[in-house]
Chain A
Amino acid sequence: MGKQASSLVLQVEGLAKRFAGGGGVDNVSMTIRGGEIAGFIGVNGAGKSTTLRCILGLLRPDAGEVMLFGQPAGDETRRRIGFLPEERGLFSKERARDAIAFHARLKGMTRRAAYLAADRLLERIGLGGRKQARIGELSKGNAQRVQILCALAHGPDLLILDEPLSGLDPVAQSEVLSLFAEFRAGGGAILFSTHSMAAAEALCDRVIILGGGRTVFEGPLADASAETPHGAVVVTSDEAGLLAAAQAVGGEAHPMSSNMGEASRWRVVLPRQVTHPALMRALAERAVPIFAFEPIKPDLEAAFWTLAAPRPPPKAGDLAETPRRSRAA
């Protein structure tokens, strides 16, 4: 099956899935092409796992459409996906190469081809000498690398990875990232969910940001960073003083975390014409104690705070709301 860069690999339109006990997604859309690495970002509970499960056919959506390789998603098209779940789990007594070959054979490879692929991949990540080791005998990082190989072994066209770098040390992360780069260079597409903005910035061409169960942004990484507001992150113990100072300069202050001891972290969004020193002056005039003051940098994390902060539950009329797509999306 030849991989074609730029061909449409995954298209999700208006995906909705609600659970009886609450939670789920209301309106998720995204598009991924061959040779692209897309980061799927959202706070805990935003609906990332639910979306991935709908794409993989593990959940039946209430509404919306999932297209894979230009066709409605089905058993055949899903064979071309490699999946790494967030929770890693392999038989601890199973040998590394057996585990990889097992997953490859489940996806339709012959026994011989599956074992050849397993051996080649294990060599590739430096575990060739441990291919007969049982999973339980490997370190956590190596076991995780084996699980990543389980997703890769059958030569998928789309890799769906849920937190692929968690639990890996920097060396292992670097190896895995180079594996992904190699996969992409071969025309494969990757959709990976992550909480790590640094990983997303290092790896992604595009990002899909989920907020309140909906796609709130989809587009190139640079466009996401352009959503960064002008302002500063302030750590203080005087909430009232900070709010007054922000109001005085025409800005808005939003808490970023619950109190850590006396102080709490605030994000102050300022009008473009208001400088950081102006905000500092306003704080000083009110004798607001400042433990830290950091201008907001135009990066993915800042964009994330702008776009994906939890929102009130959507009203019925909001379901048709279109996500913010960048011009290049």
Chain B
Amino acid sequence: MPEAQVKMNVRNASEKASIIDVEGELTAFAESVLMDAYNQASDGQARAIILNFEDLEYMNSSGIGLLVTLLIRINREKQRLLTYGLSDHYRSIFQITRLDDAITIYDSEEEAVKAANSA
């Protein structure tokens, strides 16, 4: 199987929120990397997971599918999923796929973390 062309870094944003920095390509091959990152981000007291897409270089429809399955997992754990760093192009994709119905998009890390902490 081709290697995932993506790196994900997990960091704590606050007591309640963790950030996953997505760098590279979000395709079907990124599944295990994304799930490992989520497990790491969720380890502890995190009630909100924030995806940082500032360094997202490429995403196909399988990549969007991964976000849906991630969202389901997060909802099952009674957590929230937020995002920031989406370019206009990727915001449009969230709109077309109607992911924005369930995943809130923020303009900056500060706004996303503030929203995560306020819940």
| A and B together in one complex | no
On A, residues with C-beta under 8 Å from B are none
